[in-house]
Chains A and B, each alone.
Chain A
Amino acid sequence: MKNKPYALYDLPVIRDLKDMIIKKVEQNPEKIAFSYSIKREGLVNKTYKNFWDDITAFGTWLHKNDMKGKHIAIMGENSYQWLVCFFAITCGGSVAVPLDKELPAKEISNLLSKSDAEVLIYSDSYNDVADDAIKMLVQEHDERQGFMSFKMSELEVFIRQGMELLAKGCNSYVDYEIDTEKMCCIMFTSGTSGSSKGVMLSQDNIVADINGGCRIFVLEGSTIAVLPFHHAFGLVVAVLMVIHYGQTIYINHSLKKLRKDLEIAKPQTMFLVPLFVETLHKQIFTTAGKDGKDKALRKLMKLSNILLKVGIDIRRTLFRSVLQAFGGKTEYIICGGAPLGTQYIKDFRSWGVEILNAYGTTECSPGVAVNRNYYHKDGAAGISIDGIQIKLGDDNEVMVKGPIVMMGYYKDTAATNEVLKDGWYYTGDLGYIDEGGFLTLTGRKKNLIILSNGENVSPEELEADFYRYEAVKEILVYGENQMIVAEIYPDTDYVTENVEEGKLQEYFDEICRKVNRNRPVYKQVGMIRLRDDEFPKNTSKKILRY
């Protein structure tokens, strides 16, 4: 099919998440919804019917135990149980609060407090963090003495109890009609205690994104869920949309198992952030290089591209061993969360894998634009999903209006009013829209550092940690070549007295190590750059950001 505009895909419109699952169960109850591997047990398959049965059973248990309407936080690695919790909570009148498992206990405690969570469901692997976080929460907030928590491993028991309740005719959960305008989920934008904001999403928001997004892109095979579920992209796009397509999702529990999981899952489509694409690309060339075949690979890619121009497509045969790195059947990669260099798109295309860039933000539930299967443009973020409006404001800031736009930030009217005006969400991203309808992004209005793994890192948070050291007079943290750089103007008096001559860089590298300790890898400062003079400042003496 030629690369040109074509009719939108036609999928049944869903009212809410419950409606979505029920439709799938009615259509094909025995279709496998999820697969995953467990140590000792091997491969586990869950059909759409199994999934809905587990949701209703656990939801019934939640209702019976007075958790209807409560804010329930979920923390843990990607798992089937995580998804059962999310659906059971959001389809029964409670509010799900997905949390980043990589955050330290202090931040988890802050987010539990900030989101008014009354319950925490956590995976057993994060027992210590959960315990510490709850202790801190109760110590700091006396009224939180009744805070409840349980492990995901207990879910099996609750599901069994829920099934017994259902058998006895306890139907409050099953009969519950979802108020689609009500908040059903609070998702945090970036995991920093100072600046993280809780995005309030309703079922209307999420479902509008699913309905609108699935009309632009079509999924015709199985996928693998690699991105963390606490991210809107990893959850709404990589899981919920796939459910709407009625396809099978292989759940990757740990990135350490990714290679093995890809061999088993053999995904037709993968949803990734640029960091994965870049790393897979690097691995392919490193492996080829070790065998002395990297130049041959490049030559073969050139040859294949020439053949492709004359209509001969033998990429699947030529690059079988390359494609094997992703399981052998991958046709599409939907890439979002951060910009991806066009060279990667071209190289993957040479191998027979089309990378379709997508653009979104948690505040827009999250998908805003995506390239289409047969209508795409390298370097563009895609075309608008169905049912929303995109326009450009001052400085070409991208603005979005429509049912996907969040209800606001939880308990933060000031922050909400800053970004939501007359129904338009001001994304803070800069870009333009061409005559073909493609949105292309050119930069970021806000200060956040967007790394290629899609993570947002708040420079202010890191700067605050460095300022605890007397030797740091001024500091500016920014992203550079996918690395976090901390540029420091040392306190001359302090270092003259306390640091051995010629050891200045070493001294600050040591501070950097201390700051980095216990931070998720993506939040670690990769380079310290020392400067001899003060930073340029604005009239109110604030350091000017680049």
Chain B
Amino acid sequence: MLEKIIDILSDFTMQDKENITKESTLVNDLGLNSLDVINVIVAFEEEFDIEIPDSKIKEMVTVGDIEEYLEKNV
């Protein structure tokens, strides 16, 4: 799961996979703005065939938060 998440984030941010860890924050470490975060969430929805409610997006601060959400809900 984490590997797939990192793949998507790496593709989206053009950052090396090695630089993205569970602890990386989307805004702080990966440099995403609020619209980028929404777009990357759409990519996760498509990849994992899931719908993530808008109200949950603000809870996703780190890569680990995304992993936790997806593991519980996919």
Q: A-side interface residues toward B, CB under 8 Å?
A: 77, 101-102, 125-126, 128-129, 254-256, 259, 275-276, 278-279, 283, 286, 453, 482, 509, 512-513, 516-522, 524-527
Contacts and interface: CB of A to CB of B under 8 A. Distances in A.
B27 A520 contact: no
B28 A102 contact: no
For the complex, would chain A's binding face be called helix, strand, loop or mixed by DSSP majority? helix
Nearest first, the 10 A-B pairs at minimum CB distance are A521-B34, A279-B35, A255-B38, A522-B34, A524-B27, A256-B42, A521-B37, A526-B27, A254-B54, A516-B61
Given A125-B53, A275-B35, A482-B33, A521 B62 contact: no
B50 to A, nearest CB: 12
Contacts of A126: 55
A344 to B, nearest CB: 14
B14 to A, nearest CB: 8
B10 interface: no
A77 B62 CA distance: 24
A177 B14 CA distance: 59
Given A526-B27, A527-B28, A275 B61 contact: no
B58 interface: yes
Nearest to A104: B58
Nearest to A484: B27
Contact of B25 (A77, A259, A276, A513): A513
Contacts of B35: 255, 275-276, 279, 453
Given A125-B53, A254-B54, A525-B28, A517 B61 contact: yes
A254 B38 CA distance: 9
Contact of B34 (A259, A453, A512, A513): A453
Nearest to B31: A526
A524 B54 contact: no
Contacts of B57: 521
A155 to B, nearest CB: 19
Interface in B10-62: 14, 25-28, 31, 33-39, 41-42, 45, 52-55, 57-59, 61-62
B74 to A, nearest CB: 17
Contacts of A521: 26-27, 33-34, 37, 57-58
Contact of B28 (A77, A279, A526): A526
A287 to B, nearest CB: 12
Given A482-B33, A516-B28, A102 B38 contact: no
A160 to B, nearest CB: 28
15 contacts: A126-B55, A256-B45, A256-B54, A275-B34, A278-B33, A279-B35, A453-B35, A513-B25, A513-B62, A516-B61, A521-B57, A521-B58, A524-B28, A526-B31, A527-B28
A125 B54 CA distance: 8
Given A521-B34, A521-B37, A522-B34, A129 B54 contact: no
Contacts of A129: 55
Given A513-B61, A527-B28, A520 B34 contact: yes
Contacts of A482: 33
Nearest to A282: B36
Contacts of B62: 513
Given A255-B35, A256-B45, A521-B34, A516 B54 contact: no
Contacts of B27: 516, 521, 524, 526
A51 B31 CA distance: 42
B1 to A, nearest CB: 21
Contacts of B41: 256
A254 B54 CA distance: 7
Contacts of A513: 25, 28, 61-62
Nearest to A289: B14
Contacts of A279: 33, 35-36, 39
A522 B27 CA distance: 9
A521 B65 CA distance: 14
A301 B11 CA distance: 27
A115 B54 CA distance: 26
Contacts of A101: 55
Contacts of A256: 38, 41-42, 45, 52, 54
B38 to A, nearest CB: 5
Contacts of B45: 256
Contacts of A517: 59, 61
A126 B57 CA distance: 13
B31 to A, nearest CB: 8
Given A255-B38, A512-B28, A77 B54 contact: yes
A60 B71 CA distance: 47
Contacts of B52: 256
Nearest to A452: B33
A103 to B, nearest CB: 10
Given A256-B52, A524-B61, 18 more contacts: A125-B54, A126-B55, A128-B55, A256-B42, A259-B42, A275-B34, A279-B39, A283-B39, A453-B33, A453-B34, A482-B33, A509-B28, A516-B25, A516-B28, A518-B59, A520-B58, A521-B37, A527-B28
